[in-house]
Structures are given as C-alpha cells and as structure tokens.
C-alpha cells in the first residue's frame, strides 16, 4: 500500500503547487498572519509504521484547534461519560467562536471542538493542577502519542493570542456567567492559548494521530470506546460549519486548526496530517481539504465508500466478506 500512497501523494503535491487560490491566513491572531500560504505539506502514517511525507513536512506550524482532540482525549479518560454534562456533542450552527450560540445554548457549548466547548474541556482537565502542570500534561500526551519528545509550545503564538483573543475572553466570561467555568478566566484561557500554540511538523502530527487510527493499542493512551467517541465528533464537528461538506467530499473523521493544519483518520488504515496555512471561509485549510479529497478519492478511503471500492481498506474488505 505504501507505494500507492506515495504515488498519490506526489501527484497531489504537484497539483497543490499549481494552485493560485490558496485561501487567507488567520489574520486575527497576529503571530499567524505572517505564515506563508505557499507552504504545503502532507504526511501519512500507516499501520505498518511506514511514514510517507511530501512538501515542507519538517516545518513546524501552530496546531491550534487540532489540540482540542488531545484535551478531549484527556478529559474523556478522566471523566468518562460525566464529561458530557458540561459539553454537548452536536454540530454547531454558527461560527466556531460564536458568543450568540453559547448564549442560546445557555452556557453548555454545542461540542468540544467549537472554542467555547474546548475552553470548557480545558477548564475540566485543569482541576487539581496548576496551569503550568496542565500544559505539561497536554504536552506529555502529544509527545507520547507521537513518540517524540521534540514537541513544544511556541510562546510567541501563545502571547499573541493572549493579547488579542478577545472573543475567547468573552466566551470564557459567558461560560462563567452560566456557571460552566470553574477556574478564573485567566487560568483556563492561559492553558487554552498555550495548547493552541503547540507547534508540530506534519510528520509529528501524523504520528500523533496513530492512537485514533487504532494503531499501537499497547500504548494504552486512550480506551477504545473513547477513540470511537473522538472519531465520531471529528466526523460530525471537526470542520465547524464546513463539517457536512467535508464528510461529503472526503468522508473520514478529521479536525482542522486555523494554523492551516488538519489531522485526518482512516480507522485501522492511516493517520494523515496536512498543512497549508491559507483558510477557506469556514476557517479550514483550503488546500488541506482539496488534498485530502484527492487522497481519499484515489485510495478509496471514504468511510462512506461502497463495498467494492478498495481492498486496501480493511473496513471495506471486512464488510464485503460479511456480506457474501
Ligand atoms: N486558537 C484559535 C482560537 O481560539 C483556535 C481556533 C481554530 O484553530 O479553529 O480562535
């Protein structure tokens, strides 16, 4: 399979180099506004442990909202189903940082991937530790997942968002007003801004997603039932208001960040990271989605594919065996 994946990725990398419309970088976080939209990278980590990368896959970028996967994993591990008392699991209908939606929902965020839901998740895992310890725990989680200790927070990005993230400050205050934030806003947001500022290369991020693909189960990072929940949330809510369109075009659980990264999971087959900093109108990487659409199509990786699509996909081939 690795050879086919490599051939597909090389073709995609060439196609992406030709794209003139590369989206708009996230100007609302000054430190991200300097990203170069010419960057494109993709890395795929397979069950066998083989890893295939194209483009600037060794350049670190800000994972931003992709970090919400890891805090959700920590929270589910700690609180189990009790987690959902404070956060919903429905797609949002408004922007990822909407204050209006949080008010309509009376302070219980739609899901853990909109900003209000992620801030609440961070508030939950902050219980019993200092902000510095909590950031340390999140870093330890991603380092273990990626089997790589060279993953760090970019302090300039964290400082940039702390100074200018007024919508997030507002969301934290609204959560407090509804009694859904246990810590002072500056403590919870201190952790939140730092988790968003974690920097990874595409190659590191693809390895980081292996636990979601069901690889390396012996690592025991997250229980299988939580992996299933996280993948379900990624499928339904991972791209904000673009989630339905993403399911239609690509068809695999994935989560985007405004740094231009996307982590996408083909269960039991591949963990894929893609990065291109230019965003579409929903705040998702424009080229990242195009590249994932092309890869999913050429490998037959959509989970919604018919039974005969790809013998490489154990989900599909198991299904076809059962049907016969
Ligand atoms: N740090 C970003 C924010 O809070 C995360 C949003 C994203 O990556 O989608 O606005």
Cα–Cα–Cα angle for 223, 227, 229, nearest 5°?
Answer: 115
- Tell me how far the alpha carbon of residue 105 lies from the centroid of ligand 1, in angstroms: 20
pLDDT for 120 beyond 50: yes
Q: In order of start, what are the domains of the chain with their CATH numbers? A: 2-59+201-317 (3.40.710.10), 65-198 (3.40.710.10)
Residue 98, ligand 1, Cβ within 6 A: no
- Mean pLDDT (whole number) for 236-252: 94
pLDDT for 286 beyond 60: yes
- Nearest CA to 239 out of 207, 271, 261, 210 is that of 261
**Residue environment code for 79-94, b if the CB has 16+ CB neighbours within 10 A, otherwise e:** beeebeebbbbebbee
Tell me which residue has its CA closest to atom 6 in ligand 1. Answer: 65
Regarding pTM above 0.75, the answer is yes
* Contact indicator for 6, 43 with CB cutoff of 8 Å: no
- The Cα–Cα gap between 223 and 80 comes to 10
Q: Is 322 exposed, middle or buried (0-12, 13-18, 19+ CB in 10 A)?
A: exposed
55, β-bridge pairs: 41
- Mean pLDDT (whole number) for 159-186: 97
pLDDT for 110 beyond 70: yes
- Tell me how far the alpha carbon of residue 65 lies from the centroid of ligand 1, in angstroms: 5
Residue 31, ligand 1, Cβ within 6 A: no
Average per-residue pLDDT for the chain: 92
Q: Which of 67, 87, 192, 222 is catalytic?
A: 192
- Nearest CA to 283 out of 98, 33, 23, 59 is that of 23
Higher per-residue pLDDT: 34 or 8: 8
Task: Give the total residue count for the chain.
Answer: 324
End-to-end CA distance of the chain: 25
Distance of CA 287 to the CA centre of its chain: 16
Q: Which of 35, 62, 68, 274 is catalytic?
A: 68
Task: Judge whether 192 counts as a catalytic residue.
Answer: yes
- Give the model confidence (pLDDT) of 182-192 as tens digits: 999 999 999 99
- Tell me how far the alpha carbon of residue 113 lies from the centroid of ligand 1, in angstroms: 9
Provide the pLDDT for residue 260.
96
- Nearest CA to 274 out of 72, 32, 43, 16 is that of 43
Provide the pLDDT for residue 213.
96
Residue 26, ligand 1, Cβ within 6 A: no
- Tell me how far the alpha carbon of residue 67 lies from the centroid of ligand 1, in angstroms: 10
Ligand 1 test: best mutation among 33, 196, 200, 282, most atoms within 8 Å of CB?
Answer: 196
How does strand 261-266 pair with strand 198-200? Answer: unpaired
Q: Which of 43, 57, 65, 310 is catalytic?
A: 65
């Amino acid at each position: 399979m690795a050879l086919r994946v490599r051939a597909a990725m090389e073709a995609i990398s060439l196609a992406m180099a030709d794209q003139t419309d590369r989206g708009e970088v996230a100007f609302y976080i000054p430190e991200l506004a300097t990203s170069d939209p010419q960057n494109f990278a993709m890395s795929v980590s397979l069950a066998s442990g083989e890893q295939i990368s194209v483009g600037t896959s060794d350049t670190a970028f800000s994972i931003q909202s992709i970090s919400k996967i890891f805090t959700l994993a920590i929270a589910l591990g700690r609180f189990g189903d009790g987690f959902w008392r404070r956060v919903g699991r429905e797609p949002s209908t408004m922007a990822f940082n909407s204050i209006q939606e949080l008010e309509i929902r009376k302070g219980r965020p739609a899901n853990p991937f909109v900003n209000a839901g992620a801030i609440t998740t961070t508030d939950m895992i902050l219980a019993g530790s200092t902000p510095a310890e909590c950031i340390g725990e999140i870093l330890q989680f991603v380092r273990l997942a990626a089997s790589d200790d060279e993953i760090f927070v970019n302090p300039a990005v964290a400082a940039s968002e702390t100074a200018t993230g007024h919508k997030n400050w507002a969301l934290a205050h609204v959560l407090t007003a509804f009694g859904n934030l246990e810590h002072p806003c500056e403590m919870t947001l201190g952790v939140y801004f730092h988790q968003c500022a974690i920097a990874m290369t595409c190659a590191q991020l693809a390895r980081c997603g292996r636990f979601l693909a069901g690889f390396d189960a012996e690592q025991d990072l997250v229980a299988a039932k939580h992996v299933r929940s996280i993948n379900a949330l990624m499928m339904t809510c991972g791209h904000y208001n673009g989630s339905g369109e993403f399911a239609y075009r690509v068809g695999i659980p994935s989560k985007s960040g405004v740094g231009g990264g996307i982590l996408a999971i083909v269960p039991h087959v591949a963990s894929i990271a893609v990065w291109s900093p230019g965003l579409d109108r929903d705040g998702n990487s424009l080229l990242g989605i195009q590249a994932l659409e092309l890869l999913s199509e050429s490998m037959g990786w959509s989970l919604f594919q018919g039974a005969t699509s790809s013998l490489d996909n154990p989900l599909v081939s198991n299904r076809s065996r059962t049907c016969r």
